[in-house]
Amino acid sequence: MATIAFLLNGASQRCDVSPDTSILTLLREHLAQTGTKEGCASGDCGACTVAIGESTAGTQRFTSANACITPAHQLQGRHLVTVEGLSEKGSLHPAQKAMIESHGSQCGFCTPGIVMSLFTLHSDLTQRPSPLSPERLEAALGGNLCRCTGYRPIRDAALRMNDTPYERPQWFDAALPASESDTQTVDSAGTVPFFAQPVSLEELTQLRQEAPQARLVAGGTDLWLEITQRLAPLDQLIDVSRVAELLTVEKAIHADQTGWWIGAGVTYTQLEPLFEKHFPAFAHLLHRLGSQQIRNRGTLGGNIANASPIGDTPPVLLALGAQVVLASVNGDRCLALEDFFLDYKKTALAADEVVSRIFIPQPTEGSQLRVWKLSKRREDDISALLGAFSYRIVQGSLRDVRIAFGGMAATPKRARAAEAALERCTISAAASAEAFRAAQEALDHDFQPMSDVRGSQHYRQQAAKNLIERLYLSLSAPDHEVMLHAYAH
């Protein structure tokens, strides 16, 4: 148990919480605030969406989060806004008003979550005005499942809520408590629960060495499922989300390559501007990674360290030739990312190490990146398979071909045989068809995928080959549309 201090809908709160308490449990069970609903307890439905405010230059910026899988401890020094807060003074927030007027609720169970997603969109639009594009709407609402309405009235509500004049209430920007939490004694024997929040890499690696059995948590978007789905005791946690060194993005030269060092704790949302500028295909993938609520919390380091074979970013990072730095009290070591993944959920990370940062080389002249994710649903779904293709075109032929797939093996993995088949092949139609055919066949050597809930073995094999065909078509017949608008933009 430790005490946390935060704002709840503008009012100071101090609560005692155990390490495995989620914001949803805190709200519903400790504070009897039942407006926020549990739909799935796995971060997939958005019924429990809340807004978390952090101070930036005097005003607070609110981002959405799934309360069911966000650690309550992370509220320390922050502002939690829930559906109850929006209409506290009796008048409805424009998002609420618009939902009523658009007939946007039927059974009403998903509605508080939708209202909160609309609220963060509304406050974001007020702070950073920009046109409400379909893409932006999708990003804001793609993580909120509604089983009744079919979403049309919710879209209408989003489009009309800005018509209501609205003055930002003062309580939005009430002073936040200090962000440091109580220091807790770390128990290396592993018997006493603790939740540690180091703020520097030095503290983090020290803690890691003292308590190698403790679990690391950043966004919690995957780890928390162990609590809610498997009921695992998760009472020794080291929160890396406030470690300064893990939160930076820096341009640098590393091993003779220009590129960016990305802190392991940088969230997907924070990565968007960089990727949009330099890796548009990667940025586009981010739009389809989880939901806004997940992207606001989940981190690049978490996606790597988790080592899932179906994580979205590792295949792209493999294709881009990314490197990863593992830090411990004994210093850093830097690995090529492909040397990090050893086997299913097994990595090169030692017990006293943490993933501290990732290096992504800057694209060079003529280099191209294609990222194609296949899933049952376009938004907020996990890949059945994902192919990432990086190459340069030099005088009409392919160079430095790097292909990696997720969902095709026990780890995210490069397709070395397919890469070899395409290396230095020319792009002129007749000559290259042979090479691309060879690359398709090579995939059978590279991968023996399995059948699971997301796709059959046969589908995965065939779809991977079809992505090679898509690559061929996009290079040899660039005038033809080879992708659907919704997936290509």
Partner 1 sequence: MRTLTKLDSDSSRARRELHDHIQGSGPLARHTVDSNGKRQAGSASYHESAEKHVTGKAAYIDDLSLPAGTLHVALGLSPVAHGNLTKLDLSKVKAAPGVVDVITFHEVPGHTDIGPVFPGDPIFVDQEISYAGQCLFAVAATSLLAARRAVKLAIISIDEQPASLDPVAATEREEFVRPTHVQTRGDWQQALDQAEQIVEGELFVGGQEHFYLEGQACVVHPTEDEGVVVHTSNQHPSETQKLVAEVLDIPFHAVTVEVRRMGGGFGGKETQASPWTCIAAIIARRTGKSISLRLPRSEDMRATGKRHPFHNRYRLAIDAEGIIQGGEITVIGDCGYSPDLSDAIVDRAMFHADNAYSLGDAQVVGHRAKTHTASNTAFRGFGGPQGMMIIEAAMDDIARQIGEDPLTVRKRNFYRDGREVTHYGQQVDQRQLLHTLVETLESDSDYWARRKAVSDFNATSPVIKKGLALTPVKFGISFTAQHLNQAGALLHVYTDGSVMINHGGTEMGQGLHTKICQVVARELGLDLEKVRITATRTDKVPNTSPTAASSGADLNGMAARDAASKLRERLFDFAAEHYSEGLDREGMRLEGGMLVAGFGESERRIPWGELVQTAYLNRISLSEKGFYATPLIHYDRSVGQGRPFYYYAFGAAVAEVSVDTLSGEYQVDRVDILHDVGDSLNPAIDIGQVEGGFIQGMGWLTSEELKWNDKGVLVSDGPATYKIPTFGDLPPIFNVALMEGHPNSMASLYRSKAVGEPPFMLGICVWSALRDALSSLTDYAISPHLDTPATPERVMLAANAIRKKVL
Nearer to partner 1, 175 or 430 (CB): 430
In the sheet that 331-336 helps form, which strands lie side by side, from edge to edge?
Answer: 249-254, 257-263, 354-361, 323-328, 331-336
Cα angle, residue 442 at apex, residues 440 and 446 outer, rounded to 5°: 120
Minimum distance, C-beta of residue 381 to partner 1, in the bound complex (Å):
6
List the structure tokens of 409.
């093996």
Residue type, 164: T
Nearer to partner 1, 146 or 246 (CB): 146
Q: Tell which positions 427-446 bind partner 1, by CB under 8 A.
A: 433, 436-437, 440
Angstrom distance (rounded) from CA 197 to CA 237: 9
Stretch that binds partner 1, among 250-258, 272-280, 295-303, 473-481 (CB under 8 A): 473-481
- Residue 318 binds partner 1 (CB under 8 A): no
Check residue 162 and report its DSSP letter.
G
Which x/- pattern over 105-124 shows residues binding partner 1 (rule: CB under 8 A)?
xxxxxxxx--x---------
| Main-chain dihedrals φ then ψ at residue 380, nearest 5 degrees | 45, 55
CA dist 111 to 38, 68, 105, 124, Å? Answer: 12, 16, 6, 20
How many Cβ atoms from other residues are within 10 Å of residue 4's Cβ?
Answer: 23
Minimum distance, C-beta of residue 155 to partner 1, in the bound complex (Å):
6
User: Which of 13, 18, 87, 184 is in the footprint of partner 1 by CB under 8 A?
Assistant: 87
Nearer to partner 1, 26 or 358 (CB): 26
Q: Tell which positions 31-50 bind partner 1, by CB under 8 A.
A: 32, 34-42, 44-45, 47
CA dist 448 to 59, 138, 193, 410, 457, Å? Answer: 52, 35, 42, 9, 8
Q: Tell which positions 340-379 bind partner 1, by CB under 8 A.
A: 372, 374-379
Angstrom distance (rounded) from CA 423 to CA 403: 11
User: Which of 1, 250, 396, 487 is in the footprint of partner 1 by CB under 8 A?
Assistant: 487
Q: Tell which positions 135-194 bind partner 1, by CB under 8 A.
A: 137-138, 141-155
C-alpha radius of gyration, the chain, whole number: 23
How many Cβ atoms from other residues are within 10 Å of residue 429's Cβ?
Answer: 11
CA dist 303 to 29, 96, 250, 268, Å? Answer: 31, 35, 20, 10
Minimum distance, C-beta of residue 10 to partner 1, in the bound complex (Å):
16
- Residue 461 binds partner 1 (CB under 8 A): no
Minimum distance, C-beta of residue 384 to partner 1, in the bound complex (Å):
7
Burial class (CB in 10 A: 0-12, 13-18, 19+), 479: exposed
- Dump the DSSP string for 67-111: GGGSBGGGGTTSEEE-HHHHTTTSSPPHHHHHHHHTT--SS-SSH
- Residue 99 binds partner 1 (CB under 8 A): yes
Nearer to partner 1, 99 or 240 (CB): 99
User: Which of 84, 187, 203, 352 is in the footprint of partner 1 by CB under 8 A?
Assistant: 84
Minimum distance, C-beta of residue 195 to partner 1, in the bound complex (Å):
18
Which x/- pattern over 203-242 shows residues binding partner 1 (rule: CB under 8 A)?
--------------------------x-x-----------
Which of 9, 35, 36 is closest to 22 using CA atoms? 36
Nearer to partner 1, 78 or 465 (CB): 465
Nearer to partner 1, 128 or 480 (CB): 480
Minimum distance, C-beta of residue 32 to partner 1, in the bound complex (Å):
8
Strands 2-8 and 323-328: unpaired
Q: With CB under 8 A as the rule, give the number of residues binding partner 1.
A: 95
Minimum distance, C-beta of residue 55 to partner 1, in the bound complex (Å):
25
Minimum distance, C-beta of residue 227 to partner 1, in the bound complex (Å):
9
Which x/- pattern over 380-399 shows residues binding partner 1 (rule: CB under 8 A)?
xxx-x---------------
Stretch that binds partner 1, among 52-60, 125-133, 253-261, 468-476 (CB under 8 A): 468-476
